[in-house]
Amino acid sequence: GAVVSQHPSWVICKSGTSVKIECRSLDFQATTMFWYRQFPKQSLMLMATSNEGSKATYEQGVEKDKFLINHASLTLSTLTVTSAHPEDSSFYICSARDGRGGSYEQYFGPGTRLTVT
Amino acid sequence: GIQVEQSPPDLILQEGANSTLRCNFSDSVNNLQWFHQNPWGQLINLFYIPSGTKQNGRLSATTVATERYSLLYISSSQTTDSGVYFCAVVDSGYALNFGKGTSLLVTP
């Protein structure tokens, strides 16, 4: 099956610093990748949709200047949390759509646990 | 957007028991997926099932698209089945819209 990796798996940073999270599709090309965040005991909430070579589309309420998304190639998307604050602490998960054959199926990375102190 | 409702929210089973998890959605969908989130947070793809029935070992799923629901069956449950089960559907575009999940605990 399709494999998606994320790096780092966890990160602790100080308030005011920036953190970059990488999401890679390892064995397929992903024209579309997605970023979700999940708070404890809650479901996944879509933050943004990332298409290769174009600007990301952010969901309502997600600050695009705070959560910078870059999808520079068909296998890599990055999420940068700028000037992180404790309320940004969360579990961030990326997914990639394997569009071969017109499929809508998505595959998820293992997630990145961010703690801002 | 499409509303996704899962039931029950919590479920406790004894090892060996069977269970059925339900997912209702408010509009027609192009995609429906079932996931198992393990204790480390990894989402594991169980089924990609916009319609019809599929089986994989002790798990099976059925989606009746015309009636806007999907069912996930777990037979002969094991403690390793514990975790949260999510149903998610494609709304506009290709993004998945998740239900709130069913938290399953299988006891020895």
Question: Mean pLDDT, chain A, as a whole number?
Answer: 93
- CA dist A105 and B88 (Å) reads 11
The answer to whether residue B66 neighbours chain A at the CB level (below 8 Å) is no
The whole-number pLDDT of residue B92 equals: 67
HSE on the CB side for B11, CA within 13 Å?
Answer: 26
Residues A88, B18: Cα–Cα separation, whole Å:
39
Q: Is A97 on the interface with B (CB under 8 A)?
A: yes
Q: Which residue of A has its CA nearest to B87?
A: A43
Query: What are the distances in angstroms from CA B91 to CA A41, A88, B29?
Result: 23, 26, 7
Distance from B2 to chain A by nearest Cα, in Å?
A: 13
User: Cα A24–A29–A34 angle (5° rounding)?
Assistant: 55
Quick one: what percent of chain A has pLDDT higher than 90?
Answer: 77
Q: Sign (positive/negative) of CA torsion A30, B102, A11, A68?
A: positive
Detail the DSSP E strand segments found in chain A. Answer: 4-7, 10-13, 19-25, 32-38, 44-51, 57-58, 67-73, 76-81, 90-97, 106-108, 112-116
Structural contact between residues A50 and A33, judged by C-beta atoms closer than 8 angstroms: yes
Cβ–Cβ contacts within 10 Å for residue B6, how many?
23
Asked if B86's CB is within 8 angstroms of A44's CB, the reply is yes
> Tens digit of pLDDT for each residue in B42-62?
999 999 999 999 999 999 999
B83 strand-pairing partners: B104
CB within 8 Å: B42 and A110: yes
Q: Over the stretch A7-51, which tens digit does the pLDDT of each residue have?
A: 999 999 999 999 999 999 999 888 899 999 999 999 999 999 998
Is A104 in contact with B93 (Cβ distance < 8 A)? no
Cβ neighbours of B33 in A, within 8 Å: 105-106
User: Are the beta carbons of A80 and A27 closer than 8 angstroms?
Assistant: no
Contact A106 B98 (CB under 8 A): no
